Amino acid sequence: MKITAEEVAHVAALARLRLSDQMSAKLTEQLNDILTAMDKLAQLDTSGVPSTNHALELTGAMRPDQARPGLDHQRALANAPDSDGQSFIVPKVI
């Protein structure tokens, strides 16, 4: 086993996912399959191959530092679950 049911539960909790026991068992199995497949790739000799952080060979897209007006206030709050016309309102966190 590459990954245990407890680890799957931990990662699910971090991602705020609520999993049924059945789903948890299924995902544990699938994740183990994926990690086993990665083992196969790990057999390749990659010494001398630079690591890839990104799929595209793109670099350098930047913009000049210029401010422009933001969204209209009401539009910005249009999707808020709750609002007082100024702020987004959420259940208390502290």
Judged by the rule CB under 8 A, the positions of this chain that interact with other proteins are 10, 13-14, 16, 53-56, 58-68, 70-71, 73, 76-77, 79, 82, 84, 86-94
The position carrying tokens 């502290």 is 94
Which strand (E) or helix (H) includes residue 42?
Answer: helix 21-42
How far, in Å, CA of 65 to CA of 62, rounded? 9
Task: Report, in Å, the least distance between residue 82 CB and other proteins.
Answer: 8
Taking the least distance from each CB to other proteins, the nearer of 44 and 61 is: 61
**CA-based R_g, the chain, Å:** 23
Task: Report, in Å, the least distance between residue 70 CB and other proteins.
Answer: 5
